[in-house]
A and B are shown apart, each in its own frame.
Chain A
C-alpha cells in the first residue's frame, strides 16, 4: 500500500508543478490584449505587426492566439471577449458568414461601408478600413490544362466541369452566400468531384495532378511558385475581400490610443506587397515575426 500511496503523491506533485507552470503563462488579465489569428503566413505576419506596434506604442501586453480556423470561431471568441482583436478579417467573408447578407454589393467601398455598419450594430465591433490589399478566391488550373482546354475565364470551364476534380479550402463548399451552392446557381457549373482540404494543400494537390482545378487565395505566393493559371471571375460572383483588422469597441473605449496604433497599418500594404511578404514566409521560410519586424522598420513605423 505504501508504495502505491507514495507513487500517487509523487504523481500529484508533478501534476501540480506542470499545472502551475502552464497556468502562469496562459492566464492573466488586466492589461493583456489577445490578438486572434489563423495559422496561415498572411495572418501570422499581420498579427505580429499589430503585436509589435502595440508593444512599442502602449503599455499593454499583446499576445497572439493562433490556430483559429474559421470566421465563426473567431467571431464567437470575440463575442466571449477571449480575444479582443482579430488580426485579419475579409469584407466579403464577414458580409456573407457573419452578417448573413445574401447578395453583397460588388463595389468595394460600398461593401466595406456595409460591413463596418453591420459589425458595429450587430456585434459591437469596429471593422477598420482595409490594410490596402484584397485576398479573394480565384479558380486556378495548371498551365498545361489551361492551354489544352483553352481556359481564360471561369465560364470557359462549364463544358468540361463534369470531368474535373475541384479542390477547395474546408469552408467554401458550405459557405452560404459566397460558397458552392450560390456558385452553382450563378455560373451553372457543377464539378464532377469536390475535395475540401486545408488551404495550404491545394497548391501542391493541383500541381501534382491530384485535383484538376482549385479555388486558391489570390495573395498566395505559391500561385507563382507552382506556375498556376488563374481564371477570371467573369460573372463577378465573388464579393470584394479587402482585408482589415477588427477590434472590440469596449477595448477601444478603454484604451483609446489603440485605435491610432492599429490605424497606422491601414492602407500600408497593397496586394503585391502582401504577396511578397507571403512569399518570404511560404517559399523562403522566414519566420512571420521576423518578416513583420523588417516590414515595419522599412516603413519607419517601428524604431
Chain B
C-alpha cells in the first residue's frame, strides 16, 4: 500500500514527463497497428483468392512472430537507425499475424449461401467484398485488431532500447536503479493503455455489430 502511495506521488510530481512518454507509447503502438492494417487487410483479401499466396504469407507472418522482440528491434535498427521508425516497423511486424490471420479466417468463414445470394443479385466481386464479405467478417477482424493493439502496447515498452522513448524508458530506468516506484510508474500507465484501448475497440466492435444488423435488414 505504501509503495502504491509512492507511485502515485511520483506520478503526480513527474506528470509532464509521464504524459509525454505515454503519448510516445500510444503513438508508436497505434501507428504500428494502423499501418499493419493498411498492409494486412488487402493482403488477406488477396489470400482468399489465391491459395498458394495464403500458404506462403501465413508461413512468413508466423515466422516473424517467433523472432524474439529485442532481436527483431535490433535487426531493424541496423537498417533504419534509432528512433520511431525502427520501433514502428518492429511493431508492424508483430501486428501482422493477428490482423492477417483474423481477416483471412473471417472472410473464409462467410456463409457461402449469402455469397451465392449476392452473386444471384448481380453484385460485382467488389460489391460482394464490400457489401457482403467484409461486413460479415468484421467481428472476427476487429478481434484481430484488438489482439494486435494489445501486443503492440506490450512490445512498445522495449522501444526505449533504440532511443524511441515510450513508457519503457521509465521502466528500464527503474530496473537499472532497483527502483520499484519507477517500474510501477511506467508499467501502470502501460497496463491502463492496453485495457483502455482494448475497451474502446470492443465498443467499436459492438457498433460494427449494429452496422452488420443494418446491412442484413436492408
Contacts and interface: CB of A to CB of B under 8 A. Distances in A.
A19 B27 CA distance: 7
Contacts of B162: 67-68, 73
Interface in A14-38: 15, 18-19, 21-22, 25-26, 36, 38
A70 B22 CA distance: 25
A200 B175 contact: yes
Contacts of A285: 179, 181
Contacts of B169: 39, 66-67
Interface string B162-192: 1101001100110111110100000000000
A202 to B, nearest CB: 10
Interface stretch (B50-58, B77-85, B101-109, B118-126): B77-85
Contact of A39 (B26, B172, B204): B172
Interface string A245-262: 000000000000000000
A266 interface: no
Contacts of A200: 175-178
Nearest to B74: A73
Interface residues of A, number: 38
Given A65-B82, A73-B162, 13 more contacts: A4-B211, A15-B34, A66-B160, A66-B163, A66-B173, A67-B160, A68-B82, A68-B162, A69-B161, A73-B77, A77-B82, A198-B176, A285-B179
29 contacts: A7-B204, A11-B34, A15-B34, A18-B26, A18-B27, A18-B30, A19-B27, A22-B27, A25-B20, A26-B83, A39-B172, A39-B176, A40-B177, A65-B163, A66-B169, A67-B160, A67-B163, A68-B163, A77-B81, A80-B82, A82-B163, A83-B82, A83-B163, A199-B176, A204-B178, A222-B178, A282-B178, A282-B179, A285-B179
Chain B interface size band reads: 20 to 34
Interface in B181-209: 181, 204, 207-208
The SS class assigned to the B binding surface is: helix
A126 B81 CA distance: 21
Interface of A: 3-4, 7, 11, 15, 18-19, 21-22, 25-26, 36, 38-41, 44, 65-69, 73, 76-77, 80, 82-83, 198-201, 203-204, 222, 281-282, 285
A36 B163 contact: yes
A82 B176 contact: no
A76 B76 CA distance: 13
B177 A281 contact: yes
Interface in B78-94: 78, 81-84
B95 interface: no
A40 B176 contact: yes
A268 B182 CA distance: 30
A39 B78 CA distance: 21
Nearest to B34: A15
Interface string B18-32: 001001101100110
Contacts of B211: 3-4
Given A19-B27, A36-B163, A73-B74, A67 B168 contact: yes
